[in-house]
């Protein structure tokens, strides 16, 4: 881990830019039942059941020393 942190301490070099990547996966869900509307003095009630409606992956590429980032969906 220390080796990785040392990379971030390097000074900027145009020939070898520091580029990082992160990925996030998000599940799309669709409600299967309508929630019961709250009336004064109660809270909204809803069922935890859902229908799976696909998955998306998001990627972020960034160059921390230059403050540049780009997201790809």
Q: What is residue 54's predicted lDDT score, i.e. its pLDDT? A: 94
The model carries a pTM of: 0.56
37-46 per-position pLDDT tens digit: 888 988 888 7
Concatenated DSSP letters of 4-66: HHHHHHSPP-TTS---EEEEEEEEEEEESSPPBPP-TTS--B----EEEEEEEEEEEEEETTT
Low-confidence residues of the chain: pLDDT under 50: none
For the chain, what is the domain count? 1
Structural domain boundaries enclosing 7: 2-72
Mean pLDDT of the chain: 88
Q: What is residue 48's predicted lDDT score, i.e. its pLDDT? A: 84
């Amino acid at each position: 881990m220390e080796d990785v942190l040392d990379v971030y301490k390097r000074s900027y070099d145009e020939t070898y830019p520091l580029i990082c990547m992160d990925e996030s996966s998000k599940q799309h869900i669709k409600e299967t039942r309508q929630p019961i509307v709250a009336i004064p003095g109660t809270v909204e009630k809803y069922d935890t059941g859902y229908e799976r409606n696909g998955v998306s992956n998001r990627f972020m590429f960034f160059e921390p020393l230059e403050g540049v980032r780009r997201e790809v969906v």
